[in-house]
Structures are given as structure tokens and as C-alpha cells.
């Protein structure tokens, strides 16, 4: 399912929804994955399945609202990382310290994924809980010495519930989250 919103308060709370994908910073970076995500918004909404929602903005202020609510930052602090996809397992009204927050800057994902359709497919499979190929692709990066700040450098301390996408440092936390999620679905 997909929504274009002017404010987070307009996002319906549906107990059937387990994952949210926020497109943050649309229009701030032209080309590449940003354009593809925008053009394929409806397709992504369909592919992520009935228990997930992709949310885009109708107004620029929406981006700042999402960044502040989920990351506790001002959107200007992340201007070099936007546009990005923020993947979370929490509705804004149900956000806790244990909620997943995975920020993927699209220009960096574009560097990792040479085939855009594969990125979109891996994203949808991850959100549906079917595959961790997205994590593997982001993890299978160049050697750590080559990518010190390659994916994301967030200017706040990282604590376990917040996962920024320098997966070389946080992949253990994300893998643990993935394991809990998939084990919970099999019970």
C-alpha cells in the first residue's frame, strides 16, 4: 500500500501493518534511484505487500517531520544523505526505543546496486520479511578500509534500536533484529 501525505498525523494506524518505508527528501537529489523510486512508487507499494506501507510526501515539510520523529534530527543535518528510504517497524504513534530505524541514502544504495530493479525487488522482499538479500547486498561492500563513511555517517550516537546504514558496524544488530522477526513469524 502507498500513501502520499502532508503530515505524519494523517498516516492511518492499521494493526495489520508491520513495516513502513518512508521516502525522505524527494526532489532534493535528482537522478538515479530517487527518480526511480518516485516513478515506481505505485509498483513498490504493490510489491511490499499488504502488511507494509510506503509513504511519500506531498509537501516538503513532511520530510523534516519524518526525520525529526524517527531520527530525532533536523532534516538539514542529513541534507547530504537525502533522499533516502527510512525503513521502520513502527507507526509514528507507536514508536519506541526498540523500533527499527534503517536509513538508506539512495545515492549510496545506487552505488551498491548496479541493477535498480534488483534493489527494488530486494527492498520489497526485505519489507515483506521474505529475504535479507538487501542486508547482504549492503553488507557485501568494498573492504571496510575503503568505505569508512561510505553509506551513512549520522551525527548522533548509535544505540541498539537505531540502525544507520554503515552496515559494516551495525550488521550484527540488524541481523539480530532480522532473526527475531523471522523467528517470531514462524511461531
At 26 the pLDDT is 62
Domains contained in the chain, number: 1
CA distance 48 to 129: 9
Point out which residues pair with 52 in neighbouring strands.
19
CA distance 25 to 107: 12
Query: Cα angle at 186 between 89 and 159, to 5 degrees?
Result: 35
CA distance 2 to 20: 10
At 90 the pLDDT is 92
pLDDT in tens, the chain (187 residues): 888 888 999 999 999 999 999 998 865 545 556 677 778 888 899 999 999 999 988 888 888 899 889 988 777 777 778 888 899 999 999 998 888 888 888 877 878 888 878 888 999 999 999 998 888 887 755 433 333 333 333 333 333 344 444 444 455 667 677 778 788 766 5
Q: Which domain holds residue 49?
A: 2-186
Tally the C-alpha atoms within 13 A of residue 43's C-alpha that lie toward its C-beta. 9
CATH code of residue 146: 3.40.30
Main-chain phi, psi angles of 53, to 5 degrees: -135, 135
The helix or strand, by DSSP H or E, that contains position 87, with its residue range, turns out to be: strand 84-88
At 170 the pLDDT is 55
> Among 187, 147, 181, 184, which Cα is nearest to 167's?
147
- Residue 19 near residue 51 (C-beta atoms within 8 A): yes
At 87 the pLDDT is 92
At 153 the pLDDT is 34
Amino acid at each position: 500500500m502507498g500513501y502520499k501525505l502532508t503530515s505524519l498525523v494523517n498516516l492511518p494506524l492499521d494493526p495489520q501493518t508491520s513495516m513502513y518505508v518512508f521516502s525522505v527528501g524527494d526532489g532534493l537529489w535528482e537522478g538515479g534511484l530517487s527518480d526511480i523510486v518516485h516513478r515506481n512508487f505505485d509498483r513498490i507499494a504493490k510489491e511490499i505487500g499488504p502488511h507494509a506501507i510506503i509513504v511519500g510526501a506531498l509537501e516538503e515539510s513532511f520530510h523534516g517531520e519524518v526525520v525529526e520523529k524517527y531520527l530525532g534530527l533536523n532534516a538539514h543535518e542529513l541534507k547530504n544523505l537525502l533522499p533516502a528510504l527510512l525503513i521502520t517497524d513502527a507507526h509514528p504513534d507507536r514508536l519506541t526505543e526498540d523500533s527499527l530505524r534503517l536509513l538508506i541514502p539512495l545515492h549510496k544504495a545506487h552505488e551498491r546496486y548496479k541493477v535498480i530493479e534488483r534493489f527494488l525487488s530486494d527492498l520489497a522482499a526485505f519489507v515483506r520479511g521474505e529475504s535479507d538479500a538487501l542486508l547482504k547486498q549492503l553488507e557485501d561492500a568494498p573492504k571496510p578500509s575503503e568505505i569508512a563513511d561510505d553509506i551513512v555517517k549520522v551525527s548522533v550516537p548509535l544505540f541498539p534500536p537505531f540502525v544507520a546504514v554503515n552496515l559494516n558496524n551495525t550488521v550484527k544488530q540488524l541481523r539480530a533484529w532480522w532473526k527475531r522477526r523471522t523467528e517470531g513469524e514462524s511461531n
